[in-house]
Amino acid sequence: MLLDKNLIEKINLFENITKTKVKDLIEKEDKLIFILDYGEIIKIIVKKGKNIKTAENLMHKKIKVVEFNQDPLKFIKNFIYPIKPLSIDLKENIAGIKVEDRKSKGLLIGRDGKNLDELNNIAKRYYNLQVRIL
């Protein structure tokens, strides 16, 4: 994980606003994805996300917050929340996500496969896994 000065400043600002510990930050054109250390998400939930809105206003981007987990299947479940998968299975470095309906499948994949690409990049980064929607 290589962070430049700009990302470090954003992490510091986010940590100061939310009083959480950030494991990683992924910056996209339209949003920032903060990966929080395990157990830190409760600090966001307790404040009902008010600090997230403050951070979004200061950083001028949408913010997604995901709690890290050593278990790749739990992390994937955290990452795709609020989509509720029927199941997430792991076979030979491929995490298969099964969802109930076409709408959920469309949300997971995203326009031009953008959401699935994002999920694949993160799964590969932390667990060397590929993700497939079943």
Q: What is the sign, positive or negative, of the torsion defined by CA atoms of 7, 12, 17, 18? A: positive
Specify the higher pLDDT residue, 36 or 1: 36
Q: What is the pLDDT of residues 61-70, one digit of tens each?
A: 999 999 999 9
- Name the token pair of 47: 């404040």
- Name the token pair of 2: 């290589």
Q: What is the pLDDT of residues 83-129, one digit of tens each?
A: 999 999 999 999 999 999 999 999 999 999 999 999 999 999 999 99
50 Cβ contact partners less than 8 Å away, ≥ 6 residues apart: none
Q: What is the pLDDT of residues 18-57, one digit of tens each?
A: 999 999 999 988 899 999 999 999 988 877 778 999 999 9
